[in-house]
Amino acid sequence: MTKYVFVTGGVSSSLGKGLTASSLGRLLKSRGLKVTMCKLDPYLNVDPGTMNPGEHGEVFVTDDGGETDLDLGHYERFIDESLSRASNTTTGSIYSKVIAKERRGDYLGKTVQVIPHITDEIKERIRRLGTLGADVAIVEIGGTVGDMEIIPFIEAIRQFRRDAGRNNVCYVHLTLVPYLAPSGEQKTKPTQHSVSELRSYGIQPDVIVCRSDQPINDSLKRKIALMCDVPNGAVISAVDAPSIYDIPINMHKEGLDTMVCDTLGISMDAHPIDLSLWNDVVRRVHSADKTLRIGVVGKYVTMPDAYLSVVESIRHAGFALGAKTEIVWIEAERVPSEVDANRLRQLDGLIIPGGFGERGIEGMIATSRIAREQEIPLLGICLGMQVMVIEFARHELGLVDAHSTEFSLTTAAPVIALMEEQMDVTDLGGTMRLGACPAMLAEGSQVAALYGATVVSERHRHRYEFNSRFVEQFEAGGLRCSGTSPDGRLVEFVELPSHPYFVGTQAHPEFKSRPDRPHPLFFGLLQAADVRAEGRAPHILDPADVDVTI
């Protein structure tokens, strides 16, 4: 029978519930347990698919085409399991389902209410996780205790312990223990108030994880345990870590997995922990002896979470090469007027990530040209591949009007366009190619060498495609269409064989990268960047050249 861990948060948002849940998932998996995870989000959107990346962050896509919260990216990277659309539920999707049932008459004319109908639907979705064969399902509740929006979720998980049995449910509550400089003290009162608020809804936490910028001493732990009615060992200090990949190790040292296993009645003797693989990741994170500078030229660079999986994929490739990676954020709209070819030349590699809409397109096209002509390693992702195709058509094939029909319906050279059968679809939400799609890679191509295979599967999230009418023209001009859909109709990969690394993919490879298994396309980019860095004198970027450096 599946056991359940519910992770809630208090005091403040953005404390790291997702990373705490992911770290716990990794620890339990390291004990030989099969783990799945889920995020319950309180917003009224049905899913994050139509939400602004600059406000919400990236949309993480699952194999089955689910458009989900970015925390699912953390889940997959930490527990190394592919999740599904069932792992993300929103208030909007819950209410949509309940209202649809009411319209069909499923409730037999009864008054439809938050309790029991909304809470029952929430519990049903949680129960479905138990049908996946997992030993433990970790469920993160978005928002902060006290928020009006999450009350139905809190009530549902309160009822869930009653339904599933006390020994099959563990409540983990994440709070903040701030340090007040004037008094020189860490304060536990916010944690006490947060737990009190949670208890007012009928939930007594089994474990309290305390975020802070410095370790919480035993005296403070005992005080929190006393005031919040938990064992001393159930107060976990979650101090700021130099890397997110340190968090599982730190949580294990604090005893988080021990307390959760005790609560759930999981024998630790029968499930001893083996952290050797994760310790190796952490060792590589901290043993890098060189730095590679990778520029990300995009639309949403003022909100780095919009490219969270891209950033982590860059770092994963750096770990494998023994290199730290300095991410240089460049607004596409500023290229080339403020960030010229000379400044881009100072970077070791470039990425043009995905996105929607016309803003910044000409800057991305200019970036692609600079990278191609200056032999700067470049990886184009989704829209990034499309602008690489547009740029090559304009400046190498002589198609000066080349464009995507997303941005110009009157272009004489629509090298990027909708598939013919989609042209009459007016509901744009229905035209997306979402989720895992297979691709056939050309023998002897650069991408086939990187993957070590000629048949691969990658996740997609896009509406426009390489126009197959132009394939022969591009091939003759030197840009190789090195990967296609199995039926040959859709171009999935392009590359320039004469370039150190000029590779584009219609997919989103960042969603499948792992800290101990970097994605081949990112690894190839970092390899080429490493060669480039070795071949020229070190250079320190002028801070004026970039928007943000992390």
Q: Which of 382, 437, 458, 465 is catalytic?
A: 382
Residue 341 pLDDT: 72
| Inter-residue contact 99 to 472 (CB < 8 Å) | no
> Is 50 exceeded by the pLDDT of residue 513?
yes
> Is 70 exceeded by the pLDDT of residue 440?
yes
Least confident of 59-63, 184-188, 225-229, 510-514: 184-188
> What does the DSSP assignment read for 191-254?
HHHHHHHHHHTT---SEEEEEESSPPPHHHHHHHHHHHT--GGGEEEEE--SSGGGHHHHHHHH
544 compared with 150, residue with greater pLDDT: 150
* Known active-site residue 499: no
Whole-angstrom Cα distance, residue 225 to residue 531? 54
Under the banding of pLDDT at 50, 70 and 90, the label for residue 425 is very low
What does the buried/exposed string (b/e) look like for 15-53 if buried means 16 or more CB atoms within 10 Å of the residue's CB?
bbbbbbbbbbbbbbbbbebebbbbbbbbbeebbbeeeeb
Q: Which helix (H) or strand (E) is 338 found in, with range?
A: none
Whole-angstrom Cα distance, residue 345 to residue 340? 9
Residue 49 pLDDT: 81
Q: Residue written as tokens 């520029």?
A: 295
- What's the rounded mean pLDDT across residues 497-518? 96
Residue 420 pLDDT: 56
Whole-angstrom Cα distance, residue 238 to residue 16? 10
* Known active-site residue 173: no
Whole-angstrom Cα distance, residue 199 to residue 196? 5
463 compared with 181, residue with greater pLDDT: 463
Per residue in 81-124, pLDDT tens? 999 999 999 999 999 999 999 999 999 989 999 999 999 999 99
Residue 337 pLDDT: 73
Per residue in 272-308, pLDDT tens? 999 999 999 999 999 988 999 999 999 888 887 899 9
Whole-angstrom Cα distance, residue 37 to residue 136? 8
Per residue in 323-363, pLDDT tens? 999 999 999 888 877 766 778 889 999 999 988 888 889 99
Residue 330 pLDDT: 92
Round the CA-based radius of gyration of the chain to a whole number and report it: 25
* Known active-site residue 510: yes
Average pLDDT, the chain: 91
Please state whether the peptide bond connecting residue 500 to the residue before it is cis, i.e. omega within 30 degrees of 0: no
Per residue in 349-406, pLDDT tens? 999 998 888 888 999 999 999 999 999 999 999 999 999 999 999 999 999 999 999 9
> Is 70 exceeded by the pLDDT of residue 421?
no
Q: Which of 56, 117, 403, 508 is catalytic?
A: 508
Other Cβ atoms closer than 10 A to 176: 18
Least confident of 414-423, 445-454, 476-485: 414-423
**Predicted model pTM:** 0.91
Under the banding of pLDDT at 50, 70 and 90, the label for residue 53 is confident
Q: Which of 121, 254, 510, 519 is catalytic?
A: 510
What does the buried/exposed string (b/e) look like for 197-215 if buried means 16 or more CB atoms within 10 Å of the residue's CB?
bbeeeebebbbbbbbbeeb
DSSP-derived 3-state class of residue 364: helix
Residue 536 pLDDT: 63
The DSSP bridge partners found for residue 139 are: 6, 38
> Is 70 exceeded by the pLDDT of residue 426?
no
